[in-house]
Homo-oligomer: A and B are copies of this chain.
């Protein structure tokens, strides 16, 4: 499998513009991989504001604990990310490792450890040798450049088959600002529990509290609406930084998460969605992308739980892999979600083909028409619950023999 790029990969990569106020550099520290970069350092020229969303796992990694402690400060000067080792379930050694890395980064930049953010992805339970960082951070801090986004995305890959980048612009406070983002992995898709990591930076001038408000709202319908295998990582980390460089263009100050941010909010959410979908499209063994929309549920939360019940069902995902229009399994997944549903009001569509209505198979059901939809690379599924106005969309991929192979055979 390794070496072959997902058939669902983007046909072209976004052309990533430099972003004023942040410089990046990468190194090959030999943490696990050979002959590739595995450490990324981002340095902010002036203190950036920062917001973050971290895994809900009760057993988070040491870097997640470290970031959670620093986020209330709201100020970032440096980010250090490594692939090859997640520094998760590493106990006291794990905490010592984050401390040592943060000290080295702070010394290299001339900032406090509270202004450093860390993320690690890779094997779980293996002690991470932080001395591998100490030699490289000084030179990374000195050599960073603004035009380095694509290389940055490559350095944080684990079993990803392609780097994930996205960029947007928005009007804000009388000027045009830019948002750049990179991501890796999805859910717990990668061997040894690699992780969903994403780092987004804007040159807008936005206070940390407003940034957090934007990010917390934006993550729901984007990163928190994708699933590859229902397995939540110990290390999921999404961070948003604002360098404030646009203030020199005359950007009017932002004071609250209000309508003046509508354009920025839309651009940010669009970028988050773009990155999240790139992550699903690189799901391990994925051959098909499925967009599941649930409408007419009791409320939006119920709709999302039903949609995720469908998206995480092994029987739904294997049917998609087999190009089988097996709508009975959709009914099953609705039923097991625990949310209010009335069999006799359910309707189900694959693409534009309605396959079930009013609690039974559509009278005009055409196996050929439904199967034609299943043969597509991108498969839209829509479920009408018929009870209320709740609505949600989630994205997932199929469950293939390659997924089992990647996750079962990789040590053999």
- The answer to whether A327 and B361 touch across the interface, beta carbons within 8 angstroms, is no
Supposing A89-B360, A91-B344, A91-B360 touch, asked if A335 and B58 sit within 8 A by C-beta, the answer is: yes
Cβ proximity bits A122-142 to B, threshold 8 Å, 1 near / 0 not: 011111000000000000000
- The answer to whether A328 and B408 touch across the interface, beta carbons within 8 angstroms, is no
- The answer to whether A322 and B409 touch across the interface, beta carbons within 8 angstroms, is yes
- The answer to whether A401 and B412 touch across the interface, beta carbons within 8 angstroms, is no
- The answer to whether B328 and A125 touch across the interface, beta carbons within 8 angstroms, is yes
A319 at the interface (CB under 8 A from B): yes
* A–B pairs, 19, beta carbons within 8 Å: A55-B335, A58-B337, A58-B338, A58-B343, A60-B343, A89-B361, A90-B360, A91-B359, A125-B328, A125-B360, A125-B361, A188-B315, A232-B332, A322-B407, A322-B408, A322-B411, A326-B411, A399-B404, A403-B404
A232 to B313, CA, bound (A): 10
- Collect the chain B residues with CB atoms within 8 Å of residue A249's CB: none
A192 to B328, CA, bound (A): 7
- The answer to whether B401 and A405 touch across the interface, beta carbons within 8 angstroms, is yes
Shortest distance in angstroms between A385's beta carbon and chain B's nearest beta carbon? 10
A405 to B360, CA, bound (A): 27
A313 to B318, CA, bound (A): 15
- Collect the chain B residues with CB atoms within 8 Å of residue A88's CB: 328, 331
- The answer to whether B332 and A58 touch across the interface, beta carbons within 8 angstroms, is no
A256 at the interface (CB under 8 A from B): no
Contacting B at CB under 8 A, from A337-376, are 337-344, 346, 356, 358-361
The 6 closest A-B pairs by CB, nearest first: A124-B328, A322-B408, A59-B335, A57-B335, A91-B360, A232-B336
- The answer to whether B404 and A326 touch across the interface, beta carbons within 8 angstroms, is no
Cβ proximity bits A308-336 to B, threshold 8 Å, 1 near / 0 not: 00001111001101111011110111111
- The answer to whether B60 and A315 touch across the interface, beta carbons within 8 angstroms, is no
Shortest distance in angstroms between A401's beta carbon and chain B's nearest beta carbon? 4
A37 at the interface (CB under 8 A from B): no
In the complex, the chain B residue whose C-beta lies closest to that of A334 is B59
Supposing A89-B360, A356-B125, A403-B318 touch, asked if A233 and B323 sit within 8 A by C-beta, the answer is: no
A293 to B312, CA, bound (A): 24
Shortest distance in angstroms between A367's beta carbon and chain B's nearest beta carbon? 10
- The answer to whether B58 and A327 touch across the interface, beta carbons within 8 angstroms, is no
A93 at the interface (CB under 8 A from B): yes
A286 at the interface (CB under 8 A from B): no
Shortest distance in angstroms between A118's beta carbon and chain B's nearest beta carbon? 17
- The answer to whether B410 and A231 touch across the interface, beta carbons within 8 angstroms, is no
- Collect the chain B residues with CB atoms within 8 Å of residue A56's CB: 336, 338
- Collect the chain B residues with CB atoms within 8 Å of residue A59's CB: 331-332, 334-335, 341, 343, 346
Shortest distance in angstroms between A176's beta carbon and chain B's nearest beta carbon? 41
- The answer to whether B405 and A315 touch across the interface, beta carbons within 8 angstroms, is no
A230 at the interface (CB under 8 A from B): yes
- The answer to whether B89 and A359 touch across the interface, beta carbons within 8 angstroms, is yes
Cβ proximity bits A43-64 to B, threshold 8 Å, 1 near / 0 not: 0000000000001111110000
Supposing A89-B328, A408-B321 touch, asked if A314 and B231 sit within 8 A by C-beta, the answer is: yes
Cβ proximity bits A227-256 to B, threshold 8 Å, 1 near / 0 not: 001111110000000000000000000000
Shortest distance in angstroms between A324's beta carbon and chain B's nearest beta carbon? 5
- The answer to whether B89 and A314 touch across the interface, beta carbons within 8 angstroms, is no
- The answer to whether B233 and A332 touch across the interface, beta carbons within 8 angstroms, is yes
- Collect the chain B residues with CB atoms within 8 Å of residue A401's CB: 401, 404-405
